[in-house]
Amino acid sequence: MTRTTRTHILLGPFAALLLAFVAVGCGPSEQELKIQDLTAENDQLKGDISERDRQINDALVRENDARDTIDELNQEMAKLRADSNKLKDVEGWKTTPTFDMISISDAMLFDSGKKDISATGRAKLAQIAADIRSRYSDRDIYVFGHTDAQPIRYSKFKDNWELGAQRSLTVTRALNNLGIAYDRLIVASCGEYRPIAGGTASKNQPRNRRVEIFAVRRDTGAMERTARGYLED
C-alpha cells in the first residue's frame, strides 16, 4: 500500500466528520426546527387564551351591570305603579325622567298556545321599533318577559322563568329584524314574580302575561357606572 493510499484511508473518516460539522453549521436541524415551530404555536395559544379570558371577563362585567339595571328598573317601576300620577302616557309609552316603557299583552303578541308572534303582534312591534329608532336611538332597550302564576303543565318549557325568557327572546329577535341593533338589546325574564294584578283569580292572570320594553337612558344607574368603568380602563 502506498503512502498516498494510506493518507486517503486515514483522512476519510475525518473528512466525513468535517462535512457533518459543516452541514450542522449551515442551519438548525430538523429537530430544532420542530421545537421552534412548537414554541411559536404555544406562544400563539397563550395569546389566544389571554384574549378569550379578557373577552369573557368583559362579558361578565356587562352581564352584571345589566342585571343591576334590571333590578333598578323593577324597583323604580314598583314605586311608580304605586303612584301612577308620576307615569305620563305618550302614545302607549309610559315616560319617566330616566326611562320610557311600553307594555304589550301576550294576547296581542302571540296566538293562543303559540310561541311565534302573530300578525297583530308583528304590526305592533313594527310600530314600537319605529318609535325606538326615532325617539330612543341613544338608549339601551331592555325586553322583559312576564307570565302568570299558573304552573307549566302542557308545554316544553320547564317553568315560568323559561317561558318568560322565551317570550322576551322572541320579541328581541323581532326587534332586531326591524332594525334595532343587538348590542342595544338586553333580554330579561321576570317569570311570574312581577305581577301587576295581585291574587290568583283567573280574571287577573291575563294582565300579568305580557312583555315590557324599556328604553333606558345610558347615563343612569348601573349604565352610568359601566360607562365610567370603560372610560377609566
SS (H, E, C) 145-191: EECCCCCCCCCCCCCHHHHHHHHHHHHHHHHHHCCCCHHHEEEEEEE
Band of the pLDDT at 87, cuts 50, 70, 90? low
When the pLDDT of each residue in the chain is averaged and rounded to a whole number, the result is 76
Q: Phi, psi (5° rounding) for residue 163?
A: -65, -45
Q: Which residue has the higher pLDDT, 59 or 124?
A: 124
Q: What is the mean pLDDT of residues 161-184?
A: 94
Spatial distance between the Cα atoms of 188 and 181, rounded to a whole number of angstroms: 17
Maximum Cα–Cα distance for the chain, whole Å? 123
- For residue 80, pLDDT beyond 70: no
185-191 and 140-146: which strand pairing? parallel
Q: What is the mean pLDDT of residues 117-132?
A: 95
- For residue 17, pLDDT beyond 60: no
Spatial distance between the Cα atoms of 114 and 112, rounded to a whole number of angstroms: 5
Spatial distance between the Cα atoms of 96 and 86, rounded to a whole number of angstroms: 7
Secondary structure E strands in the chain: 88-90, 93-95, 99-105, 140-146, 185-191, 210-216
Asked whether 98 and 215 are in contact (CB, 8 A), the reply is no
| CATH level 3 topology of 53-229 | 60s Ribosomal Protein L30; Chain: A; (3.30.1330)
pLDDT for the residue 9 = 47
pLDDT for the residue 2 = 52
- For residue 229, pLDDT beyond 60: no
Band of the pLDDT at 129, cuts 50, 70, 90? very high
pTM, two decimal places: 0.61
Helix (H) or strand (E) holding 72: helix 30-82
